[in-house]
Amino acid sequence: MKSYQVTEFGKPLEFRAYDIPTPKDEELLVRIMACGVCHSDLHLADGFFDLGNGKRITLADRGTKLPFTPGHEITGEVISVGKDVTNTSIGDKGIVFPWIGCQKCLACKNQNETLCENPKFLGARLNGGYSTHIIVPHERYLVPYGKLNPFQAAPYACSGLTAYSALKKIPKTTSDEFIVIIGAGGVGTNGILLSPHIHNAQIIVVDNDSSKRDLAKTNGAKYCFSPEEILEKSSLFNSKISGIIDFVGNENTSNLGLTIIKKGGTFVIVGLYGGSLSISLPLIPMRSINIRGSYVGELRELIELVELINSKNVRLLNVTKQKLNSANDAMNKLRNGEVDGRIVLEP
């Protein structure tokens, strides 16, 4: 098994070779066909998340042991199964659901594994997909991807699922309302492409980058603005912005969102860019604003999402293939904002 691993936080990934593991009991051994490169892989390799005001949460504190294989947008083919696997055969292909919980806590019992107190997320707590093989703990976590190819399908495990779950957290909308998407990178673009299949509201995109705004327009956004422009025009939209998804998650974007959301609106924070939020407390009750966090999505939502993509004419995210051995190059491109859509690594 060939893997690209974080061996020291803040350093490039290193190549390591291991024996191919044998699946036990309910486990599957999956040969990886594709693995998307996600922004959170950069945080994992850096070893911290910025909490603002000089505070950091480090992965060492959260119990991440090195060396460690990142990558959580995985598709693959089953090549061996444990003795208790009943419904999966060798040769079955699918998206590997990575957001796996402990199976013991209340959140897991309620099938909200992303809220688990002791998560076993693949590519975050357990070894992930920058590798040729992976052990999947149970067959229910392999979701067949239907008509997609494995490269198109891989980013739906995180980028697509994150956008889908965030959109579902905004209550039903009508066609005279607006949903604002802040940040038209990979996940934001999935939000733009999926929104018409979930909501009736029209989409406004806010991004600093004019080329991203142009792309958002071709992907179906009704209006695209820079942060300054939407503030100038806010009186036109203010009472109609029912939902906002902040795919960036920094101080500027969260303040912008809370400024333009309508009374009773829902502001969903998804991005993990970092920083802290300062807000006048009386405005939250006076304007009845719902502020929600959304972190990736649940297994049932991935199943729904794959079904949606297979049954409706959803425009897919643009993916670029790169060889697994260029994982560091792919991460650098992402860090430098040079990626249009998603880079997907091919072992």
> What is the binding site for Zn ion (CB under 5 A)?
38, 40, 101-102, 105, 108, 116, 158
- Please choose, from the candidates 185, 164, 153, 131, the residue with its C-alpha nearest in 3D space to the C-alpha of residue 338: 185
Question: At its nearest, how many Å lie between Zn ion and the CB of residue 171?
Answer: 26
Query: Is residue 196 reached through a cis peptide bond, with omega within 30 degrees of 0 on the bond before it?
Result: no
Residue type for 142, please?
L
Question: At its nearest, how many Å lie between Zn ion and the CB of residue 16?
Answer: 22
Minimum CB distance to Zn ion smaller for 141 or for 223: 141
Minimum CB distance to Zn ion smaller for 116 or for 182: 116
Minimum CB distance to Zn ion smaller for 214 or for 340: 340
Question: At its nearest, how many Å lie between Zn ion and the CB of residue 172?
Answer: 27
DSSP sequence for 130-154: SBSEEEES-GGGEE--TTS-HHHHG
- Please choose, from the candidates 242, 219, 223, the residue with its C-alpha nearest in 3D space to the C-alpha of residue 318: 219
Minimum CB distance to Zn ion smaller for 105 or for 277: 105
Minimum CB distance to Zn ion smaller for 101 or for 191: 101
Question: At its nearest, how many Å lie between Zn ion and the CB of residue 230?
Answer: 27
Residue 31 dihedral angles phi and psi, to the nearest 5°? -85, 120
Question: At its nearest, how many Å lie between Zn ion and the CB of residue 236?
Answer: 34
Listed in sequence order, the residues at least 6 apart from 76 whose beta carbon sits closer than 8 Å to its beta carbon are 30, 31, 32, 33, 34, 93, 94, 96, 134, 150
